[in-house]
Amino acid sequence: MRSLLIAASISALLTGCGDTVVPDSRLIIGATLITMEDGPAPTAMLIEDGKIVSLGTEDELRARNPGVILTDLTGKTVIPGVVDSHVHVRELGMDAIKVDLVGVKTVDDIVARLRDQRPDVPAGDWIIGQGWDEGAFADAGGPGGYPTTEAITVAFPDNPVALESLHGFGAMANAAALARAGINADTPDPEGGTILRGEDGEATGVLLTLAQALLFDVVPDLDQDQIEAAIKAGLTQMAAAGVTSVHEAGMEAEDVAAFKALAERGELPIRVFGMLNGNDAELMAQWFDSGPLDDPEDWLDIGGIKVFYDGSLGSRTALMRDPYSDQPDAARPTARIALEDVERLGENAREHGFQMAVHAIGDAGNDFIMTSYERRLAPDAAGEVPDHRWRIEHAQVVRPDFAERAAALGVIASMQPSHAMGDSDWAEDRVGRRRIQRAYSWKTFQDAGVPIIFNSDLPGEPWEPMQTLHFAVTRTKLDGSPEGGWYATEALDRRDSLRAMTMSGAHAAFQDNTLGSLAEGKWADFVVLSDNPLTAANIPDIHVDAVYVAGELIVAPTTDTPD
């Protein structure tokens, strides 16, 4: 049973009904239906066996289907299930065992959070946290722009402390954790990573990009039961917010095993499209041998390759063509994988039917990846270009010709409205007035014909769909700042933004024939909202009243009555 909250039994309601009831059949009436398809808006939707079989007026569908069970949603709005097309759901589900550091401003704030949330940790046990903003902390002063972790060492001398950053491009560790990891003045920087050091050469406790592996390789691993529990917890949270399908970005081997086990037991509450960790050569060799996983029921498909290429803008590790505008000496632009390895992955992806999805933040990083795509997606001997749907994840800062090149090749820009708002306090400082005009450029991309998908990249920034929609259409934070929006000309309108969160997300996973809109023959995945997101005065105030996946109510009961 996939339901999270099961509606009351309707068997009693059927007693005495004069007409024959079609099993697993219901008619949705009363709601405003936003189908995301072209054409007149229907007023009723008929569902049978988990799929939408007809859309039209209430009168005509009731006349053709006497005795059907009615779900009256008068006053509500129904939208297609949201496709969050770039997530890290295991990390979301693991938040229960991590100290929440979102919003901290200083190392002293971190210490206060750790003490508050982990007051009685036995000596020697690890303390794990997540959420300090590497972009904000990079301006806090100290070696490389970052503060030292001395205060954490003083507060927790007997516990190793490992703290992941908000976007995954930095880590903090106290002295006990550095000792467990064997990191000291003699430890060389690993390729693609940096150990920040003081004047004495000793590690300050801040590790950037691939140097984090030195720390997290010694943090105790979760077992498969724990991973499965974290995945289910994360998916359940997302379902409650109106997400019915996710694209899991960067599956490790143990994640694949956990997702497969949950799918085989029918325990995935919502749908998953998996993107494998392309930086893991051994994992990719196995999957190139076996080929993609295509589930005809669309509960678990694995057909993408997520590659981490450069770093992040906040930590000054993204690859930029010209120096950073602020503290260029503190910048450490990083390629987390060699470009020739990306090239080989692309060649194998095309041969074996996988989709490429490469993380690129800086203008040089995006340019390198676009050039690689242009080579790998060149027409074949017959002059044909495959239906590749390859993606660039983030595409934050780009060169002037990027949009034209992406549109010509049909490369999808996978973008996060929350990142623009989260980065808005410091992004212009990093790249300067000229380059910021080519950053977070949603409207520019759309006008050039670039396919766009909007997603959350959770956990980290606010990720619920109505929050994402708010960021996309207003370019303001949840508190409404800055007034008038941050570079508001790059906002998209409400319908286009919602399409980027539904139809376009399904298309990006080759699932547009079955998901992403309310249309005949597609799965009955839909969300019941308290208000219309296309007209509501304040989008974040809209709440989710119910969620259906394959016609089954999984979040919040509704009242059913027989016709």
3-state SS string over 400-452? CCHHHHHHHHCCEEEECHHHHHHHCCCHHHHHHHHHHCCECCHHHHHHHCCCE
Rounded to an integer, the average pLDDT of 3-30 is 49
Q: Is a pLDDT exceeding 70 seen at residue 11?
A: no
For the chain, residues classed under CATH 2.30.40.10 are 11-76+522-562
What three-state secondary structure class fits 338? coil
For the chain, residues classed under CATH 3.20.20.140 are 224-508
- Tens of pLDDT, residue by residue over 194-215, are 999 999 999 999 999 889 999 9
Highest mean predicted confidence (pLDDT) among 139-143, 296-300, 374-378:
296-300
| CA-based torsion, 245, 52, 354, 448: positive or negative | negative
- Tens of pLDDT, residue by residue over 535-557, are 999 999 999 999 999 999 999 85
What pLDDT is stored for residue 384 in this prediction? 80
To the nearest 10°, the Cα dihedral for 150, 155, 158, 159? -80
Q: What is the CATH number of domain 224-508?
A: 3.20.20.140
Give the range among 132-136, 221-225, 244-248, 558-562 with minimum mean pLDDT: 558-562
What pLDDT is stored for residue 70 in this prediction? 94
Rounded to an integer, the average pLDDT of 98-125 is 92
Q: Which residues pair with 302 in a beta bridge?
A: 274, 293
90-216: CATH, from 3.40.47.10, 3.40.718.10, 3.10.310.70, 3.30.70.270: 3.10.310.70
Give the range among 3-17, 56-70, 279-293 with minimum mean pLDDT: 3-17
What pLDDT is stored for residue 221 in this prediction? 83
Q: Is a pLDDT exceeding 70 seen at residue 563?
A: no
Q: Is a pLDDT exceeding 90 seen at residue 526?
A: yes
Phi, psi of 345 (to 5 degrees): -60, -45
Q: Is a pLDDT exceeding 50 seen at residue 491?
A: yes
191 or 205: which carries more pLDDT confidence?
205
Q: How far apart are CA 516 and CA 518, in angstroms?
A: 7
Q: How far apart are CA 19 and CA 68, in angstroms?
A: 8
* Confidence class for position 21, pLDDT limits 50, 70, 90: very low
In this structure, whether the domain defined by 11-76+522-562 belongs to CATH 2.40.40.20 is answered with no
Residues 6+ apart with CB under 8 A from 419: 394, 396, 440, 457, 461
Q: How far apart are CA 61 and CA 71, in angstroms?
A: 13
Question: What is the residue-averaged pLDDT of the chain?
Answer: 92
Q: Is a pLDDT exceeding 50 seen at residue 444?
A: yes
Q: pTM of the predicted model, to two decimals?
A: 0.85
Q: Which helix (H) or strand (E) holds 368?
A: helix 363-376
For the chain, residues classed under CATH 3.10.310.70 are 90-216
187 or 94: which carries more pLDDT confidence?
187
* Confidence class for position 560, pLDDT limits 50, 70, 90: low
Q: How far apart are CA 204 and CA 183, in angstroms?
A: 10
What pLDDT is stored for residue 24 in this prediction? 67
Q: Do residues 560 and 11 make contact, with C-beta atoms less than 8 angstroms apart?
A: no
Q: Which residues pair with 26 in a beta bridge?
A: 47, 69
Q: Which residues pair with 48 in a beta bridge?
A: 25, 51
Residues 6+ apart with CB under 8 A from 430: 313, 314, 316, 324, 325, 326
Rounded to an integer, the average pLDDT of 321-334 is 93
Q: Is a pLDDT exceeding 60 seen at residue 378?
A: yes
Q: Which helix (H) or strand (E) holds 272?
A: strand 271-277
What pLDDT is stored for residue 25 in this prediction? 87
C-alpha closest to that of 135 among 334, 335, 426: 426
Q: Which residues of 232-264 are buried (b: 16+ CB within 10 A; e: fewer)?
A: bbbbbbbbbbbbbbbbbbbbeeebbebbeebbe
What pLDDT is stored for residue 385 in this prediction? 79
Q: Do residues 412 and 463 make contact, with C-beta atoms less than 8 angstroms apart?
A: no
Report helix, strand and coil shares of the chain as percent, to nearest 5.
35, 20, 45
339 or 138: which carries more pLDDT confidence?
339
| CA-based torsion, 264, 269, 272, 277: positive or negative | negative
Residues 6+ apart with CB under 8 A from 214: 181, 182, 183, 187, 190, 193, 195, 207
Q: Do residues 41 and 34 make contact, with C-beta atoms less than 8 angstroms apart?
A: yes
What pLDDT is stored for residue 345 in this prediction? 97
